[in-house]
Amino acid sequence: MAEFNALSALGGGVMIGLASALMLIGLGRIAGISGILGGLLAWRRHETAWRAAFIAGLVLGGLLFALASGHALAPRLQTGWPGMIAAGLLVGVGTRLGSGCTSGHGVCGIARLSPRSMVATVTFMVTAAITVFVVRHLLG
């Protein structure tokens, strides 16, 4: 994994912000990944094209970055497949309980000054900190 680079982090944040703003202005939609993917899986005929294009853009963006930079996108998993499946299920359940994901609440909701999104984002962050503490310090 590469060292932290503030300019690249800033550039990524600007791109996420611009994409979120363009989606809200252009389509009147929130760029929440879970809602976009959920709507694609629900197969609403009149909304399929833009949802599929959005998800394809996420995948293609990563692939284009890998090609342009010469670095493979190879994350190191710190658990096996059972842990990954459990984590995926927990994220899915949490997304449903929270009525959205971190991209919808944390990026778009806070930008719209939504109190519900602010509470959700604080909840995500506190839960993440507690989870890291438990996993790293209590469970070893």
Contact 123, 131 (CB under 8 A): no
- How confident is the model over 70-77, as a mean pLDDT? 75
Residue 102 clears pLDDT 70, i.e. is over it: yes
- Using the structure block, give the residue that is written with the tokens 């694609």: 40
pLDDT digits (tens, 9 = 90+) for 128-139: 899 899 988 988
Give every CB contact of residue 71 below 8 A, 6+ residues apart in sequence: 2
Q: For residue 83, what pLDDT band results from cuts at 50, 70 and 90?
A: confident
10 Å Cβ neighbour count for 119? 13
How many Å apart are CA 116 and CA 124, to the nearest integer?
12
Q: Which amino acid is present at 64?
A: L
pLDDT digits (tens, 9 = 90+) for 4-17: 788 888 988 898 88
Residue 110 clears pLDDT 80, i.e. is over it: yes
The pTM for the full model equals 0.70
pLDDT of residue 68: 87
Cα distances (Å, whole numbers) of residue 64 to 1, 19, 67, 70, 77: 18, 17, 5, 10, 22
Token pair of 76 as six digits: 């190191």
Residue 1 clears pLDDT 70, i.e. is over it: no
CA angle 99, 103, 105 (to 5 degrees): 45
Residue 123 clears pLDDT 70, i.e. is over it: yes
pLDDT over 90, % of the chain: 14
pLDDT of residue 2: 61
- How confident is the model over 40-49, as a mean pLDDT? 82
